[in-house]
Amino acid sequence: MKKFAKLTALSLSIALLLTACGKSGGNVGGSASNPQSGNGSVGQNTAGTPKEMVVFSPRLDFQTMDVQNTPSIVTKSIYYLVYNTLVEKDVETNTVVPALAESWTQDSGTEITFTLRQGVKFHDGSDFTAADVKFTYEKAMESAGSATKLASLERIDTEGDYTVKVTLKSVNMDFLDLLTDPSLSIMSKTAFENLGEEKGIQQGTGPYKYTEWKQGSYLELEANEDYWDGAPVTPKLRVQYISENSSRLIAVQTGELDFCQDPPGSELPNIAANKDLRLITYPSATVDFVAFNVNEAPMNNPDVRKAIAYAINRQDIIDGVFLGNAIELNNIMHSSNAYYSEIEGTEYNVEKAKELLAKAGYADGLTLTLATNTTSDSQAACTVIQALLDEIGITVKIDVMENATLTATMSAGVGYHMCYSRWSGYAFGPDTGIREMLYTGGSNNYAHYSDPKMDQMIDEALTIEDNAERMAAYKAIEEYSDEVMAVYPILVENYTFVARKSVQNILEPNGPIMNLREVAAYD
C-alpha cells in the first residue's frame, strides 16, 4: 500500500485541485495564505455563536485512558484537555507557569514547595487536594511509562490540604519541566477509592470531560462548565480517528471534520489555494537525524563521521522529501527549546568531506549500511543521503526494516553503520532529549556513543541553578556534540493542521502536545 501512496497522491492532488478550482470559482491563488504563517489565532472572529460540536482528526488514534502508561503524543494531547498537571508550559515565553499549583518556591536545589490552587473540583465532584498530588506521583513512580520522569524524586510530603513538598535525590533543574508532561496529570485519589480504577482514572480537573469513547472510531468530550480557569467556548469536542491522511483532508473539505492534523504533504499548495481551508503550521517536536553506530568500524573514527556530515545537504532532504515543509536543524538541541543556542554547526561542504575521508584513509571510498523504517518519508530521505554520499565515494546500502524490527536492531547496536530515525522529546526540559541521545546507555542512544566527558557535561548541566550559566553549559554540549558528531541532526518537520475557515484558536502546541483547550468554530 505504501508503495503506491506517492502515485496515488499525485492523482489525488489532481482531483483535489479540480474541486478546489470548482469551488473557488476560478479564484485560485487570490485567496492563498502563506503556508508558513503559523498562527491559529489570526483573524479572530468571535462574532456569531460557537458551533455546538467541533470535530477533529489527529494523526493517530486515542490509545488508552491509562494516563501514566502511554508514550502516545495524540493521547497525551487529549489528557491535556481532560486533566491538569501541577505546572504547565507557556509556549510563548518558553517558561513553566502555574496550573494546579498556584505558586512554588525552590527551597534548595533538591527541595520544592508547591502551594496548590483551592476550590478546584474533579469531574466527579471530588475536591482537589494535596493528597491527590501525592497519590498521583506515587502511582507514577510505579508505572513503567512514567517512572523515568520521576526517577529523581526522593519523597513527597503534604502539609495540610494545599501544600506539597517535594524532595529530590539530587539536583534536577529540569524537574518542573518534566512535571508538565500530561502523563503526570493529577488524578483524584477519592475518585479511585469511590469509583474504582477504571472510572476513577477518567476524572480530571481539565476544561473537558470524557463522555463517550468508541475505540478505534471516536472519543467525545464535553465542556466542564465548572472549569477553574473558565469554561471552554465549544460545548463538545469529538476526536475522530482517520488513519489515512488523504481521507482526513477530504473529510475537512466535505465539512464532516472541522480540522485535522497532518494532511498529505503533496496537497499543501492546494490547501493554501483553497478559500474554504486554512493551513496552520508550527515547528513540530520531531527531529530527524542520522546516528552513526560507533560499535561498527569505521564509524568509531570521528573523521569518517564528520566527513559524512559534511557531505549531507539538509536542504536537499527538506525540498526533495518534505516539499519544503520542514526547517533545518544543525544542533542536537531542538530549536524551540529554551536552552537552544545558535552554533556554527556542520554545514554542507563536499571538499571538506572528501578531505576528511582521505585523512581517515578512505580516499578510494567505502561501503556503509543505512538502516531505516518503512515510512515513505524515511525511505525517500535515505535515498537522498545515498545520492549525496555517492559523491564522496561512499556507497550506501539502505536497509529498510519494519519499525519494531528497526527499534530492536538499533537498541542492540549491531548490524548497521548508520540509521535514519527521529525523536520527539524536547518539550520537557533540555536534559531529556540530549540524555536519551548521547548519554552512555541512553534510551535513544542509537549511536551507542559512550564518552565520559559527554556524560559529565550532561550530568553537570542538569544541576546548574543559575540560568545564564546553565545556558552556557548547554551551548558547550551542543558544540561538543557537533564536534564528536555521533548524531547528525537534520531537520524539524512542521506540525500541520488543516482547518475550515470557521475554526479559530488552534494554539501553538507545547512541543508535541496539541493545545485544543480554546478551539472553536463560528458558522
Positions touching another protein (CB under 8 A) are 1, 4-5, 8, 11-12, 15-16, 19, 57, 63-66, 69-71, 144-145, 147-148, 214-218, 240-244, 246-247, 250-251, 253-254, 256, 402-405, 407-409, 411, 423-425, 436, 441-444
Q: Least distance (Å) from another protein to the CB of residue 442?
A: 6
Q: Which is nearer to another protein, 106 or 405 (CB)?
A: 405
CB of 289 to another protein, least distance (A): 13
CB of 151 to another protein, least distance (A): 9
Closer to another protein at the Cβ: 242 or 353?
242
Residue 214 or 397: the one with the smaller Cβ distance to another protein is: 214
DSSP state of 127: B
Residue number, 116 or 242, with CB nearest to another protein: 242
Whether residue 438 contacts residue 448, with contact meaning beta carbons closer than 8 Å, is answered with no
Shortest separation between residue 388's beta carbon and another protein, angstroms: 28
Task: Work out how close the CB of 239 gets to another protein at its nearest, in angstroms, rounded to a whole number.
Answer: 12
Fill in the amino acid letter for 352: K
- In whole angstroms, how close is the CB of 21 to another protein at the nearest point? 12
Rounded CA separation 429/434 (Å): 10
Smallest separation (angstroms) from another protein to the CB of 265: 16
Task: State the Cα–Cα distance between residues 462 and 92, nearest whole angstrom.
Answer: 23
Distance, in Å, from the CA atom of 79 to the CA atom of 521, rounded to the nearest integer, reads 21
Smallest distance, another protein to C-beta of residue 201, A: 10
Which residues are 422's β-sheet partners? Answer: 288
Any idea what DSSP says for residue 275? T
Residue 167: burial class (beta carbons within 10 Å; 0-12, 13-18, 19+): middle
- Residue type at position 516: L
Cis amide prior to 298 (ω within 30 degrees) = yes
119: which 3 cell numbers?
A: 476550590
Shortest Å distance, C-beta 53 to another protein: 13
Which of 506, 463, 426 is closest to 94 using CA atoms?
Answer: 426
Facing residues of 522 across strands?
50
342 vs 402, which CB is nearer to another protein?
A: 402
Alpha-carbon gap, residue 110 to 168, rounded angstroms: 5
- Helix orientation angle between 130-141 and 189-200, rounded to the nearest 10 degrees: 50
Nearer to another protein, 70 or 496 (CB): 70
HEC string of 11-50 equals HHHHHHHHHHHHHCCCCCCCCCCCCCCCCCCCCCCCCCCE
Query: What cell does 192 get?
Result: 479511585
Give least dist CB 366 to another protein, A.
27
Q: Between residues 251 and 388, which has the closer beta carbon with respect to another protein?
A: 251
Q: Which is nearer to another protein, 65 or 312 (CB)?
A: 65
Q: How far is the CB of 440 from another protein (least distance, A)?
A: 10
The whole-angstrom separation of Cα 115 and Cα 515 is 25
H runs (alpha helix) in 284-360 = 302-311, 314-320, 350-359
Q: Which residue has the cell 470548482?
A: 22
- What is the enclosing helix (H) or strand (E) of 254? helix 245-254
Q: What CA–CA distance (Å, rounded) separates 22 from 43?
A: 25
**306 versus 448: smaller Cβ distance to another protein:** 448
Least distance (Å) from another protein to the CB of residue 229?
A: 29
Give the residue with the Cβ less far from another protein, 222 or 355: 222
Q: Report the residue count for the chain.
A: 523
Pick between residue 115 and residue 148 the one whose CB is nearest to another protein: 148
The Cα–Cα gap between 227 and 229 comes to 5
CB of 75 to another protein, least distance (A): 10
- Taking the least distance from each CB to another protein, the nearer of 287 and 389 is 287
Paired strand residues for 400: 372
Which residue's CB is nearer to another protein, number 68 or number 224? Answer: 68
DSSP state of 51: P
What Cα–Cα distance (Å) separates residue 234 from each residue in 242, 290, 503, 518? 22, 42, 11, 8
Q: Is the peptide bond before 430 cis (omega within 30 degrees of 0)?
A: no
